[in-house]
Amino acid sequence: MDGPPAPSRALLRDPLVRFLAIAGTLFVGWYLLYELVLHPWGALDRAVIDNLIHLSGALLTALGYTLLPEPANAEMIRTIGVQGGHLLWIGDPCNGVSLFAVFALFLITYPGPWRHKLWFIPLGLLSIHLINVVRIAALCIVVSIDYELLNFNHDYTFYVVVYGWVFLLWYLWVKRFARTDPAPAP
């Protein structure tokens, strides 16, 4: 006669535990891949930062701002700024790559049809990148108005905006596209 399922098997049937276990495993895998391979290699961070500088510069120019010239002796430009302000340095932690991973891993792990994941994840990543473009352009404008406002806006205002956007995307996923299978009877 079969008895009750073993506690470990019953625990793995719990959707929350399963989600946390898979998400945790994938995140550790991503972290190791990024820290041991991608970040030291530098190409991914470099490509994202170059694109952020290019798109932010195009947005600022379209808004009528004149960009500060790039330093003459810099091989790998990581800065952008507008006349009347200072150059902003874009570091690897600010390029959005880690946020891309957290966003994508959540959606990969969370239940839902792959036919929707295959378009929602790339569109979500693109929208997060574009929010970061707007963030960088706005920080350039803030610095041209008052340099003292930079740290507050970088550390607080835009964290709320960018992370708020990511949570909104996750909310849309959960409410509109994730599977809503009824919970199994106890």
Instruction: Evaluate if residue 128 carries a pLDDT over 70.
Output: yes
As a whole number, the mean pLDDT across the chain is: 89
Cβ pair 56, 136 in contact under 8 A:
yes
Report the predicted TM-score, pTM, of the whole model to 2 decimal places.
0.85
CA distance linking residue 74 with residue 172, whole number of Å: 42
Instruction: Evaluate if residue 3 carries a pLDDT over 80.
Output: no
Q: Which long-range contacts (CB under 8 A, 24 or more apart) does 24-33 make?
A: 26/105, 26/108, 26/109, 27/101, 27/102, 27/105, 30/101, 30/105
pLDDT of residue 28: 96
pLDDT of residue 14: 84
Instruction: Evaluate if residue 133 carries a pLDDT over 90.
Output: yes
Of 1-10, 36-45, 162-171, the range with the lowest mean pLDDT is 1-10
